[in-house]
Amino acid sequence: MTERQKQVRETEKAIKYIKERFAANLAKNLNLERISAPLFVTSDSGLNDNLNGVERVVSFDIKNIGGLSAEVVQSLAKWKRWALNEYGFEVGEGLYTDMNAIRRDDYVDITHSIYVDQWDWEKVISKEQRNEEFLKDTVRKIVAAIADTNDSLAEIGQKKIEICREVKFITTQELEDMYPELDSHARENEITKKYKTVFIMQIGDTLKSGKKHDGRAPDYDDWKLNGDIFVWHEKLGMGLELSSMGIRVDKQALLEQLEKARCLDRKHLPFHSMLLEDKLPLTMGGGIGQSRLCMMLLQKQHVGEVQASIWPEEMRKETLEKGIYLL
């Protein structure tokens, strides 16, 4: 066995350990149970995540069902809320699942791939819990699950890294005010470099500058009650986004955001109609990148070291010259 082969197999064992341990920690901290989830949904269901509204979905027709059109999910943000209602989850209970997606328009680099693997989670909340403090408390529980997983790496002979359990909370507007000369990506890096673990809140709406920090679909997160978790990746010298999450839209937030996004026509889709008719529970949820988390905890320098995907040949050559082997 060559040294490279040995390294790959040790990495694979560590990936398996991290995924199993973190899922258990997350489920315990948020009171979640694992369920099965779809790889694709029908195009007319309104259940697929539109992300920023410009990404092309991977779609296909189903020959044996009259040519019905289906789409590979881009995330399960809306499907999970439907599932909580369908499966009878109560307030305080939630679900998590392994989500796999193909995002054909994602820009391939050291942290992005066209293949997305993440833990998607969702839980039922009460009307009184639709507030910023409850959101922050949930973020702290997720960060604790990450840090606890990191602390247990010694069980498999892996060296743990430094992870700050204390979370810095900051809104996108506060971040723009702090670094007006920087773009949103550079702001994320600066604040994460300073505080190590950061939750950047209120993503999707327009800032005072007239720009958006980042895009968010108008029909799942409430733009006033959402955000991204960033952790400082020491080896890469950058803030690595591990999770996008938030309290989901209620009837009022859905209508306001659909109007802002100029897509009020969506309210007639099955999912949106159920929400507007109060047939869906109030929820919060998010996605946590599986490969991203492994990349962070194992201090890998490319996401391709912890997931099998397709990479430009030139990228493979460049990384191999640096001693980085892409799966």
Q: Is 103 a catalytic residue?
A: yes
Number of Cβ within 10 Å of residue 325's Cβ equals 16
Q: For residue 43, which amino acid is it? A: S
Please pick, among 75, 113, 118, 290, the residue that the annotation labels catalytic: 118
Burial of 193 (C-beta count, 10 Å sphere; 0-12/13-18/19+): middle
At 227, list the tokens. Answer: 């955000």
Please pick, among 222, 241, 250, 305, the residue that the annotation labels catalytic: 241
Q: Is 314 a catalytic residue?
A: no
Q: Is 228 a catalytic residue?
A: yes
Number of Cβ within 10 Å of residue 157's Cβ equals 9
Please pick, among 74, 75, 129, 244, the residue that the annotation labels catalytic: 244
Q: Is 241 a catalytic residue?
A: yes
Please pick, among 120, 228, 250, 305, the residue that the annotation labels catalytic: 228
Residue 129 and residue 222 in contact, taking contact as beta carbons nearer than 8 Å: no
Please pick, among 21, 103, 130, 187, the residue that the annotation labels catalytic: 103
Measured CA distances, 195 to 62, 161, 300 (Å): 49, 16, 21
E-strand ranges in 183-254 read: 197-201, 221-233, 238-248
Which residues form the catalytic set? Answer: 49, 103, 118, 228, 241, 244
